[in-house]
Amino acid sequence: MKKLIFTGCLFAAIAAQSASKYADYESYTGFTVDSVPELPAKEVHPSLWFKKADVAALKAKKDQDKTAARFWAEVSGSEFLTLELPSVPGIDDGKKVIHKYYGTMSQIAAYNAFMFWMDASPEYQERAIAALERAYDGPIKELDPKEKSGPVDEIYMGTWLQNYAAAYDWMQPFLSPQQDEAIRKQLGDECNRVAINLYEWADRPHNHLSKPAWGVGSMALALSDDPRALGWLGMALAAANDNTRYFFSADGIYREGAHYMMFSWVNFLPFMWNYYNVSGVNQFENFQPLMEWGIAVRNGKGWLPNLEDSYIRPFPGHMAAGMYKEASSWLNSSAPLSDILMWNFETTDWSPFEAYLEKTGYNYSGASWDFAMSLVEYLTYDPTLGRAAPDVSPTVFLDGGQTIFRNSWAPSDPAVRYLLFQGVAEADNHHHAEHLSFILFAENQMMASDGGYSRGTYSGKERTEWYNQGIAHNVVLLNGEAPVDVAEGQTPLSKHRMDTTFFDFEEKEAPYPNGGLLRRAIAFPGESYFVVADIVTSPEKSEAVQVLHGGRGAMTGAGVSRVWNFSDDAYGPASKLYTWTFGAETIENDEGESTYLKDDYGVFPYIKAKAEGKEITFLQILFPASTDQAAPVVESSRNGNQIWATVSGEGMADVLMVQPGSDKVEFQGLETDASFCWVRTKDGKPVEFAVREATYLKKAGNILFQSAELRSEARRL
């Protein structure tokens, strides 16, 4: 095994290049992998994805189950197996033509090289070699990757490198010495060009650094006998670490959103498989928190949220599951993570992404012109894996700042209630002003939802003046500004966590730029509906605006109540969301854009609840329902910043209260000094309750809860 230990000088050079005016990239909780590169003692082909001894099993896989057969049909029916090799573009042919050319050529090489191992047709061999011989012809070296949104951006280069690395690995045994020498030179020269420019082309360690780095890593493994390969791999590992230590949380959250996680996946997933197969280095262990996050954060249809710069995305854990056969996980008390990832795969509703692909030609990877998705799926799919749902509490608190309130792991079940409470420390790139926002999924429909990434482009005014602004999210604005981090890389404070079978709760806290503070709590009474309790404080009299985007439905109602009526659409069935908002001086209707998948945007209603003061309290009730389910009876009373509400219907009677401090409050026979309380009664008798920061709770003089100090607790009587 070849190893290279970098000198202090090289590490210093890397650190100096990665330093930036943008942020402190050492300030977060993310992870790194072993940065000492390891290459095999001798280059062997094939080895990146499989070895010669594995070919028989790889051929037989297609007949083992329906999923393998489907993936095989996609590979064997790929357009890249019959597509004519495109003409070499000119430098002035435009972004789309040039970009698609390099993506197409690299995939023609990869698909045909793989199929030659499966079929041995000389046509596959000839086409693969022809594409490899033309690798990186055309104007690629004349174009500047630093050109914003240019045709040869380095984020594409990483995927092209990986496609060509796989193609070369598969075809090398069948090349003549002359062909081999010429192709190795072309591939090696391009890999070297990308490696030495990684930090020049990317001004900070976001995906523009890590994506090409993982591509360089795969090519280094394919050309491991090249005297430069160890240096390439070392640089790739260092550059990737710069990304993962800053953009991932320790518990797996990708801070730029699910879209850019997936956009990175198309490069780190192939590299990890390649590194393990060639050198025996297992980075899947380092990435396990990400795999678990993808399960923890999924909604009832298996979709990742469209928070930050993101569209909704499926979580493609099936491409990694085979490496977690022996990995225990906090998600299940006995099953390995591989089985949980496969459960996720089989219980995901893929229909919106399949329909979008059929309509637009774009898949969910974010790299539709470059990523050989069906090829990677077939290579990584393991038909022998089991299936196991998570068996932990469906309500999950992640220290990285996301909390998922959920009453069941059951997939595509209308009874599932899901709310994601967002409080992740912001990164420096694809972030939105969405601190302490939330999204809601119920009745198999996306309800109180996030605005999403954008209608189209990253830099367009529709994004910079709407989508990434606080007003486009379910936040509380103070004098027009959304909450921010208390310090760089520091996750907003979370406390008072409760997780029971009948009530869940958490409070998150974040400051405003002007010195104000938001304490936002989410309650989950009976695990059937949600309550949002906001306490806003400001050093001077200010205007607070509680924003509620109910989702892509028609809104009706007036005063404190609204109803969002959802029609049967690509994202779920017809259903309703009943809402009530208390504590506002005025509630205004407005309209704004929302996007779940790129270009599938529309204008939908939302409300702005406004109040002024130095101390402001809001209480909001969110009640999802089927189309034929009546709304509960909701009433409220108020004494200054103390707000009470009752929710009654279908055998339940709930009393809710929020206040900023610990004053004594009395209502309908209840007495407490809690800053928040919930009491459920049946036949006039209390059966369950929860308090935040209380020393006592009484009902008709009877003590339900008592403590010598302020405590938070939920209890069944």
Q: Average pLDDT across each block of 10 residues of the chain; the chain has 717 residues. List them in order.
A: 50 40 83 98 98 98 98 98 96 95 98 98 98 97 87 95 98 98 98 96 92 98 98 98 96 96 98 98 98 98 97 98 98 98 98 96 96 98 98 98 98 98 94 97 97 88 95 98 96 98 98 96 98 98 98 97 97 98 98 95 97 98 97 96 95 94 95 98 94 97 96 97
pLDDT at residue number 7: 35
Distance in angstroms (rounded) separating the CA atoms of residues 447 and 594: 12
* pLDDT attached to residue 603: 97
- Tokens read off for 230: 């160890």
Q: Residue type for 106, please?
A: S
Phi, psi of 295 (to 5 degrees): -80, -45
Domains of the chain: 2-278 (1.50.10.100), 396-630 (2.70.98.70), 632-717 (no CATH)
At residue 454, the pLDDT reads 94
The 3-state DSSP composition of the chain as helix, strand, coil percent (nearest 5) reads: 35, 30, 40
Buried b (16+ CB within 10 A) or exposed e, 407-428: bebebeebebbbbbbbbbbbbb
Cα 613 from Cα 640, distance rounded (Å): 11
Question: Residue 398 CA to chain centroid, in angstroms?
Answer: 14
Distances (CA, A) of 4 to 235, 240, 542: 11, 17, 59
The pLDDT assigned to 4 comes to: 58
Give the containing element (helix H, strand E) for 303.
strand 303-304
Contact (Cβ atoms closer than 8 angstroms) between residue 524 and residue 530: yes
CA dihedral angle for residue 94, residue 97, residue 98, residue 100, rounded to 10 degrees: 150
pLDDT 10s digits, 547-562 = 999 999 999 999 999 9
- Looking up tokens 């089927």 gives 626
Strands 575-582 and 586-595: unpaired
- Nearest 5°: the CA angle 212, 402, 246 is 30
- Gyration radius of the chain's alpha carbons: 27
User: What Cα–Cα distance (Å) separates residue 479 from each residue in 199, 466, 476, 492, 612?
Assistant: 40, 17, 10, 20, 10
* Whole-prediction pTM: 0.96
State the sign of the Cα–Cα–Cα–Cα dihedral 627, 632, 637, 638: negative
Amino acid at residue number 563: V
pLDDT value of residue 613:
97
Q: Where are the beta strands (DSSP E) in 371-512?
A: 396-397, 402-406, 417-422, 438-442, 445-446, 476-478, 493-499, 503-511
The pLDDT assigned to 19 comes to: 40
User: Which tens digits make up the pLDDT trace of 414-466?
Assistant: 999 999 999 999 999 899 999 999 999 999 999 999 999 998 778 889 999 99
Virtual torsion, Cα 447, 453, 455, 458, nearest 10 deg: 170
Name the pairing type of β-strands 445-446 and 396-397: unpaired
Q: What is the structure's pLDDT at 460?
A: 87
Give the model's pLDDT for residue 11.
37
Q: How far apart are CA 99 and CA 62, in angstroms?
A: 32
- Cα(630)–Cα(695) distance, rounded to whole angstroms? 37
Tokens of 496: 């008072």
**Of 554, 532, 547, the residue nearest 627 (C-alpha):** 554
* Contact between residue 401 and residue 249 where contact means Cβ atoms under 8 Å apart: yes
